[in-house]
A = this chain, B = another copy of it.
Amino acid sequence: MDLRAYLSVSKRRKAVEENIGVDLSNIGKYSISEELASSKNCENMIGTIQVPLGIAGPLKVQFCNAESKFKVQSCYIPLATTEGALVASVARGCKAITLSGGATVVSQKIGITRAPVFVVENILDGKKFVDWVYANMSQLKKIVESSSSHLHLLAVKPTSMGRNVYLRFRFDSEDAMGMNMATIAVTKVAEFIKGKIQVRCVAVSGNMCVDKKPNFLNFITGRGYSVSAEALIPQKIVNSVLKTNISDIVEVGQRKLMYGSLLSGSIGANAHFANILAATFISTGQDVAHVGECCVGITTVETLKGNLYVSVYLPDLVVGTVGGGTALETQKEALSIMGIVGGNSGRNARKLAEIIGGAILAGEVSLLASLAEGSLASAHQKLGRGAK
């Protein structure tokens, strides 16, 4: 069966059904544009997978960047998941935070990165190459920016080791996640370099980007957006909504998040960033493989003047509201719930990052409380197994 031989989604699906002897009728029922999806998002398309979409919120968020003017807003969070209890858990966290006055979210644009690796004859040639790059930066910037009107070169960071030189390009890609634009731009730059000074690019991605792999470089120096969120939850809301008390949550924070993460050699220390990332990434058409690098932040928990203070720190949050799967109908509708469909001079992507930061804060608050209370198993039994 040559899958590429079939010219339509339905013919290809039919061929799979007949060839393998299976019924793919639900995969065949979809409403998103087949033309769009099969030409831009997915080769050899045979239909779609339907992922249940739940909604959590409202989550009161104070957005603290200059453009948002510290506006406070109620947000709803679309979560596509098959893991019972997840939406309920985030929803509970949203409730506790909102009743406490809301989450404060701060973000910083780091930018998308791409780091080609070049090979030189020896370390002195590597030094000369790096010097040349610095001397020709404005030219490289021109080449980058000629490749797309939405891509802006922010910086280039070189690393030389032996005969290898890595140039980590960092870009502002406005509302796009920007990985493809970055790859195209860097390819042009590599061609220019080869033409000018005969330095050969071994691979346009040299694993110093770092794209879709958990790593300390992104964790320490950032990628995409660096997002922080926090909430201050009074004792009585900890009791009434979270069904536990501050000191128990703080102890979980210490013995699980801090000691447990250090002992297990984790990058960062959190409870379940990955859950909220996966669910929001699927719902909003992000590249879900980015969960691998984005899930590495830190959650802090402490008592502050009799209240529970909780913060989350996400140094590597790679998202966009244009490109990738964001134009698919269901994904676009999910983005519309947050009011951030399409491009908006970078504001929409930033807001998506910030809302995800707030949602992750809600998720951490709720799971830590559940662990402190000792109710994790029963919640999963009730919700994940369909008991009423």
CA distance A195 to B330 in the complex (A): 50
Interface residue stretch chosen among A136-144, A234-242, A260-268, A348-356: A260-268
Q: How far is the CB of A133 from chain B (nearest CB, A)?
A: 15
Instruction: Given A49-B53, A50-B48, A207-B266, decide whether A288 and B289 contact each other with a Cβ distance below 8 A.
Output: no
* Cβ contacts A92-125/B at 8 Å (1 or 0 each): 0000000000001010000000010101001110
Q: Which residues of B contact A44 (CB under 8 A)?
A: 54-56, 87-88, 91
In the complex, residue of chain B having the shortest beta-carbon distance to the beta carbon of A52: B42
Can you list 24 contacts pairing A with B, beta carbon distance less than 8 Å?
Answer: A3-B55, A12-B55, A23-B333, A38-B52, A40-B384, A42-B52, A42-B53, A42-B84, A44-B91, A45-B87, A46-B54, A48-B330, A49-B53, A82-B324, A106-B124, A183-B376, A202-B252, A202-B255, A203-B371, A204-B376, A205-B256, A206-B256, A220-B221, A262-B268
* A187 at interface by CB-CB < 8 Å: yes
* Cβ contacts A14-27/B at 8 Å (1 or 0 each): 00100010111111
Structural contact, B330 and A164, CB atoms closer than 8 A: no
Structural contact, B50 and A45, CB atoms closer than 8 A: no
Q: Which residues of B contact A214 (CB under 8 A)?
A: 214, 266-267, 292, 295-296
Partner of A384, one of B119, B180, B311: B180
CA distance A311 to B20 in the complex (A): 28
* Cβ contacts A346-376/B at 8 Å (1 or 0 each): 0000000000000000000000000110101
Instruction: Given A12-B55, A216-B216, A333-B24, decide whether A42 and B123 contact each other with a Cβ distance below 8 A.
Output: no
Interface residues of A in 295-331 (CB under 8 A from B): 295-296, 298, 300, 302, 304, 309, 311, 313, 324-325, 328-331
Greatest chain B CB density within 10 A among A50, A88, A228, A254 is at A50
CA distance A164 to B186 in the complex (A): 35
Structural contact, A256 and B203, CB atoms closer than 8 A: yes
Q: How far is the CB of A370 from chain B (nearest CB, A)?
A: 9
* A57 at interface by CB-CB < 8 Å: yes
Instruction: Given A55-B16, A64-B127, A82-B328, decide whether A336 and B23 contact each other with a Cβ distance below 8 A.
Output: yes
CA distance A50 to B292 in the complex (A): 22
Structural contact, B262 and A41, CB atoms closer than 8 A: no
Structural contact, A230 and B261, CB atoms closer than 8 A: no
Q: Which residues of B contact A173 (CB under 8 A)?
A: none
Structural contact, B371 and A282, CB atoms closer than 8 A: no
Interface size, chain A (Cβ < 8 Å): 167
CA distance A270 to B23 in the complex (A): 35
* Cβ contacts A136-171/B at 8 Å (1 or 0 each): 000000000000000000000001111110100000
Structural contact, B337 and A22, CB atoms closer than 8 A: yes
Q: Which residues of B contact A48 (CB under 8 A)?
A: 50-53, 80, 330
CA distance A178 to B251 in the complex (A): 27
18 more A-B contacts (CB under 8 A) besides A83-B287, A184-B380, A213-B270? A3-B55, A3-B56, A22-B333, A32-B50, A41-B83, A41-B384, A48-B51, A49-B330, A104-B123, A162-B300, A202-B251, A212-B295, A213-B274, A215-B267, A216-B220, A262-B298, A272-B289, A274-B289
